[in-house]
A and B are shown apart, each in its own frame.
Chain A
């Protein structure tokens, strides 16, 4: 069964420093997609970054980058130059592969990030 594991319930980072949020996944599909979402205290889910299993380059979006290590089945999110507004819960999610084109996402438990001034 497909599964996403986020082992860090909570993280602290100093403002302007970089932080890495861990995500490991388990799937038997060859084709899959990995997503990161941010959830502020207001509750909405904000899409940050996407990595496809066949993408050769690590995805980047502004201050967000994804450290994709396929052999280790990890897809860690790196946030550079942390800002106070980055304080939120972060979720890693995986989309099922081509065997089932439902678009369903499987979510990890999340990591709460707090940025200190």
Chain B
């Protein structure tokens, strides 16, 4: 079955630690996205990648970093510079950013800072 997987489902981080959230897709999609969701709120874009080896900052990129070395993978690192990282993180992909198709989402990772 084609889809997007995210791991881990739950992640606990101590203050000052960097953590990496995994996002893998087997849909052969070119474009991938990372969103952050705070309780009772909508989604906000952190980073996006329209093609492998290229990525751009979204609206709230500070304290985060990404890489896109493979088409199917778009990991997100939450660095110690992110002041309030506790949130739900969703990864999404779409066939390519020039088509007006829907984005498919992964199941999400819930990050809690202890």
Q: A: which residues have CB within 8 A of B?
A: 4, 9, 33, 35, 37, 42-47, 50, 52, 91, 93, 95, 101-105, 107-110
Query: Closest 9 CB pairs between A and B?
Result: A103-B97, A107-B42, A45-B105, A47-B102, A43-B108, A107-B43, A101-B98, A109-B42, A33-B100
Q: Which of A43, A44, A101 contacts B97 (CB 8 A)?
A: A101
User: In whole angstroms, how far apart are the Cα atoms of A37 and B37 in the complex?
Assistant: 14
Q: Which of B42, B92, B107 contacts A42 (CB 8 A)?
A: B107
A65 to chain B minimum Cβ distance, whole angstroms, is 17
User: In whole angstroms, how far apart are the Cα atoms of A7 and B10 in the complex?
Assistant: 31
User: Does any Cβ of A come within 8 Å of B64's Cβ?
Assistant: no
User: In whole angstroms, how far apart are the Cα atoms of A91 and B44 in the complex?
Assistant: 12
* Chain B, interface SS category: strand
User: In whole angstroms, how far apart are the Cα atoms of A50 and B101 in the complex?
Assistant: 8
Given known A-B contacts A52-B100, A102-B48, A103-B33, A44 and B108 have beta carbons under 8 A apart: yes
Q: Which of A4, A45, A95, A108 contacts B92 (CB 8 A)?
A: A45
A101 to chain B minimum Cβ distance, whole angstroms, is 5
Chain B interface, number of residues (Cβ within 8 angstroms) = 29
User: In whole angstroms, how far apart are the Cα atoms of A64 and B5 in the complex?
Assistant: 27
Q: Residue of A at shortest CB range from B98?
A: A101
When distances are taken between beta carbons in the complex, the residues of chain A under 8 Å from B31 are 103
User: In whole angstroms, how far apart are the Cα atoms of A56 and B43 in the complex?
Assistant: 29
When distances are taken between beta carbons in the complex, the residues of chain B under 8 Å from A103 are 31, 33, 48, 50, 94, 96-98, 103
Q: Which of B41, B98, B104 contacts A109 (CB 8 A)?
A: B41
B25 to chain A minimum Cβ distance, whole angstroms, is 14
